[in-house]
Structures are given as C-alpha cells and as structure tokens.
Amino acid sequence: MILLRSFIYFMLMSLTVISHGLTIAILGRFLGTDFSDRVATHWGRLNIGLQRAVCGLHIHIKGAEHLPRGAAILMTKHQSTWETIALRGLLAPHQSWVLKQELLKIPFFGWALGSCRAIPIDRKAGRKAVLQVVKEGKLALNDGRIVVIFPEGTRTAPGERRRYSIGGAILAEKSGYPVVPVAHNAGIYWKRRGIKKYPGTIDMRIGSPISSTDKKAKKIIAEVENWIEGEMKKLPSQLHQ
C-alpha cells in the first residue's frame, strides 16, 4: 500500500511540476519574478497538501514564528527532496535558492528555477562559487528576498552529518543579514533514494535568527552548526512502524 500511494503521489507531483513549470517558463518572462515566485510557492503548498492526502505525510513545526517573512539567510539540514518542496511552500514567496547548476537542465523544473531568481553554482569551483554566492546573495537580500542554503551541500542520511560549508556564513558576514537555522528529520519518511514515502509526521524546528553583526564567518557557521546538529540529536532518526 505504501508503494502504491507513493507511486500515485509521484505521478501527481510530476504533473504539478509540468503544469507549474510551464506556467512559470512561459508567463514568467512577461509577468516578472514576482509572478514566478508566487506560482512556485503555490506549487510547494499544493504538494504539501498532496503529501498529506495521498501519503499520510504530515508536518509538525516548532518555532514557526521564526520563519522569515523578509530578507534573511535560511540554512537548513538537507536529508531528502522533501525540504526543497516544503520550504518552497512554507516560506514567503520571494526566495532565492543556492543550488547546483545542473538542476537548471531538468525539463520543466529547471526552467522554472531559472525564472525564480535562483543562485546556481558550480560546486567544484571552490572560491569562485563562494564569491558568486556572496555577490548574488547580497543583491537578493537587499531586494528583500530569503536566500536558502544547504550548508552541507548535499543530502545526508538520518543520523549522519557532513562538514558545513562556510559560503553562506561569509554571505551573512558581508551582508549583515541574520541566519535562520532549520533542523528536521524528513529523511526517515522520504529517503534519499527510492520512491517510497512513509506515512507519519515530520518534525521541523525553526531556530531564532542568529545575528551576523560584528561576527566573522567562522563564528556564524559554528553557531548555525551547533544549533542544527544539537536539535537533530533530539529528533527521531529511525522510522517507527
């Protein structure tokens, strides 16, 4: 039954990617970024509803009052595709995601990303990629946008952690905007590989904004990592059925 429900959701999600992606790609160039942002956010909210109705997958958010409504840097744990969908729907529409440039080549989905003021980077470019994040991130923040970053760079399995990249913290240091840390355990319900989406309730915790005023990047990223990983230790890391 789980496999069947997961397959049904996958098909419905694919249809929403095509419909919303085409809408953004075709109309976004004429109606602007604000239009594209709102269509993308509707896509996220629609899929949150589909996950609940089809897969029995719910969200419990602690600290929702800390979700930024204006310019801020949001750094989140990255365990699955789920958070890329959920945060798109939960946050205010004006978002700029730091992501690998290969995603722009995906039909429909990538076309939409290109119209939503994403910040695509070459993860192998090293310092050049960091400079790009700082340059484009500052412009986005100054325009009132939320810059979303996965500090670990790639998905990690529940119970695991990777080195936190300092790029987002350098952006915080140079721009002066706060960092909102996010922890969650989506990976136990929506794994990195495979189609199955297990029913249950994903715990998401939003931390108080971490000030970047008069702080160096190393201190900022240390505070972000300590908060996220500290919260991760409090969350279930295994599926209980």
pLDDT in tens, 117-132: 999 887 776 788 889 9
Q: Which pLDDT tens digit goes with each residue over 203-236?
A: 999 999 999 999 999 999 999 999 999 999 999 8
At 221-230, the pLDDT tens digits run 999 999 999 9
* 8 Å CB contact between 74 and 57: no
Q: Closest Cα partner for 207 from 188, 184, 191, 183? A: 183
240 pLDDT band, cuts 50/70/90, is: low
Q: Residues 153-157: what's their mean pLDDT?
A: 88
| pTM, to two decimals | 0.93
pLDDT cut 70: percent of the chain above it:
99
Measured CA to CA in angstroms, residue 220 lies from 67, 88, 91, 216 at distances of 19, 24, 22, 6
Strands laid side by side in the 200-206 sheet: 57-62, 200-206, 179-184, 72-76, 146-149, 95-100, 119-121
Q: Is the model's pLDDT at 198 over the cut of 90?
A: yes
Closest alpha carbon to 223 in 159, 151, 156, 175? 151
pLDDT at position 41 is: 97
Q: What is the mean pLDDT of residues 63-77?
A: 96
Convert the pLDDT of each residue in 30-69 to its tens digit: 899 999 999 999 999 999 999 999 999 999 999 999 999 9
116 pLDDT higher than 80: yes
Structural tokens at position 2: 């789980």
Predicted confidence at residue 179, as pLDDT, reads: 98
Tens-digit pLDDT profile for residues 169-196: 999 999 999 999 999 999 999 988 888 9
pLDDT band at residue 113 under the 50/70/90 scheme: confident
For residue 102, the model assigns a pLDDT of: 82
Q: Evaluate if residue 241 carries a pLDDT over 80.
A: no
**The architecture CATH gives domain 2-232:** 3-Layer(aba) Sandwich (3.40)
Does the pLDDT value for residue 202 go beyond 80?
Answer: yes
